[in-house]
Amino acid sequence: MQQVPSIEETVGYELVRPIARGGMGCVYEAVQKGPDGFRKRVALKIIRQEYSRVPAFRKNFLGEARLVADLIHTNIVQIYHLGSHGKQYFIVMELVDGVNLEEFLLQHRALKRPVPAEWAVFIISRVTRALAYAHEQRDAEGRFLHLVHRDVSPRNIMLSRAGDVKLTDFGIAKAFNLMYSEEGEVVAGRSDYLSPEQARMEVTDARADLFSCGVVLLELLLGYNPFAAPSPEQSRENIRRLPMPDLGKARPGLDPRISAAVLKCLARRREDRFQSAESLLSALEHALYDKAYGPTNEKLALYLRDLYKEGIAYEDDFRERVDTFPSS
Computed on alpha carbons and rounded to an integer, the radius of gyration of the chain in Å comes to 20
The answer to whether the CB of 85 falls within 8 A of the CB of 43 is: no
Pick among 1.10.510.10, 1.10.287.130, 1.10.760.10, 1.10.3720.10: CATH of 98-307: 1.10.510.10
Do domains 7-93 and 98-307 share one topology? The answer is no
Q: Which residues pair with 236 in a beta bridge?
A: none
How far apart are alpha carbons 254 and 260 in whole angstroms?
A: 10
Which residues on neighbouring strands pair with residue 100, listed in sequence order? 158
67-72 contact pairs (CB < 8 A, 24+): 67/145, 67/147, 67/170, 67/173, 67/175, 67/178, 67/179, 68/170, 68/173, 70/137, 71/133, 71/134, 71/137, 71/170
Catalytic residue among 36, 70, 139, 151: 151
CATH of domain 7-93: 3.30.200.20
Instruction: Give the span between the Cα atoms of 66 and 89, in whole angstroms.
Output: 13
Q: What values do phi and psi take at 81, rounded to 5? A: -160, 145
Q: How far apart are the first and last CA of the chain?
A: 15
Assess whether 151 carries a catalytic annotation: yes
Q: At what angle do helices 206-222 and 277-289 cross, to 10 degrees?
A: 30
Tens digits of pLDDT across the chain (328 residues): 334 345 555 567 889 999 887 766 788 999 998 888 889 999 998 877 666 677 776 776 676 677 778 889 999 999 888 887 777 778 899 999 999 999 999 999 999 999 999 999 999 999 999 999 999 998 878 888 888 998 999 999 999 999 999 999 875 556 544 444 555 544 456 889 999 999 998 888 999 999 999 999 999 999 999 999 999 999 999 999 999 999 989 999 999 999 999 999 999 999 999 999 999 999 999 999 998 889 999 999 999 999 999 999 986 554 443 333 333 3
Domains in the chain: boundaries:
7-93, 98-307
DSSP assigned state of 163: S
